Amino acid sequence: MIRSTEYETATPTDHSTKPIDFLGIPLSGWTKEEFVEWVVDRAKGTRPSTVYAVNASSVNIAFKNRAYWDALQRCEAVYCDGISVYWGCKLLKKPIPEKLTTTDCLDPIAARCADEGLSMYILGNAPGVAQKAAQRMKEKYPGLLIKGARSGYFDQHEEKELLAEIKRLKPDVLWVGMGNPIQELWVDRCRHQLQVPIILTCGGMMEIIAGQLKRPPRWITDNGFEWAFRLCNQPLHTWKRYLLGNPVFVGRLAMHAFNNSSLVPRFLQQQDLPSAYED
């Protein structure tokens, strides 16, 4: 039997603020300004750093996927990118300053990179999306250097070429958008080969930047109803995630809060279970 406390100590190796334990996931509580400063600071360094975002769906996946859970433990930082996690922190009496929507953080990060001569590489989404997003970002920030943009669909041979290209171009910031948990598992596996100072996963953010995915109005995102907007606009793509996944997340959160228990994934409770165990 592996006790949850053994994993509570397996926190990321480099934080500007001490992370809180959110259902066993080390979660950093940053303001947007602090987060942007942290990213820019790491972009100027040499040691590879990775930062992942989590929401209710991410937590649900982590409790079923051992490899994804381990990736969240190994990265340098995990931040809140969902209103459910933000409210969950309050329920557990571990409040954080705010949720950090990745799309909202892109603009200040891009602006700082343009001002300070830091470069980017964009990887992910369907063919043409990363390129279009890169073009729009360069138009918005004329001084921004984007060294490359490439689709997130590639085979094993193309992956070798991709890794070699990124290593040769030496961007300071790498955005990876392949969806959870594929993007985190890929970064966790390849981070040391990439040798990029800071790698951030971003899901479908580039689809929004490229104009292929509609972003809800500010009043909807500010009040925590972005999930409802997406459900209405992409019902076939999101219904399972929200209508089935959200109650699972709430139930897991309530069990932890009201039973005052150390809730851990089932695969951590039995050592003989395989790493890809799913309930």
In terms of Cα–Cα distance, which of 91, 89, 54, 49 is closest to 69? Answer: 54
Q: Report the alpha-carbon distance of residue 167 to residue 72 in Å, rounded.
A: 24
Q: Report the alpha-carbon distance of residue 178 to residue 165 in Å, rounded.
A: 18
Q: Report the alpha-carbon distance of residue 251 to residue 258 in Å, rounded.
A: 10
Q: Are strands 25-27 and 20-22 parallel, antiparallel or unpaired?
A: antiparallel
In terms of Cα–Cα distance, which of 87, 82, 106 is closest to 202? Answer: 106
pLDDT at 67 over 50: yes
pLDDT at 261: 58
Residue 270 pLDDT level (bands cut at 50, 70, 90): low
Q: Report the alpha-carbon distance of residue 81 to residue 56 in Å, rounded.
A: 9
> Is 42 in a helix, a strand, or coil?
helix
Residue 242 pLDDT level (bands cut at 50, 70, 90): confident
Q: Report the alpha-carbon distance of residue 126 to residue 207 in Å, rounded.
A: 9
User: What letters, b where the CB count within 10 A reaches 16 and e where it falls short, cover 158-185?
Assistant: eeeebeeebeeeebbbbbbbbebbebbb
pLDDT in tens, 69-97: 999 999 999 999 999 999 999 999 999 99
Residues in the chain: 279
Which phi and psi (to 5°) does residue 104 adopt? -70, -25
Q: Report the alpha-carbon distance of residue 125 to residue 205 in Å, rounded.
A: 9
pLDDT at 60: 96
More confident residue, 108 or 217: 108
Residue type, 115: D
Which residues, in sequence order, are bridge partners of residue 176? 123, 201
Q: Report the alpha-carbon distance of residue 18 to residue 22 in Å, rounded.
A: 12
pLDDT at 222: 78
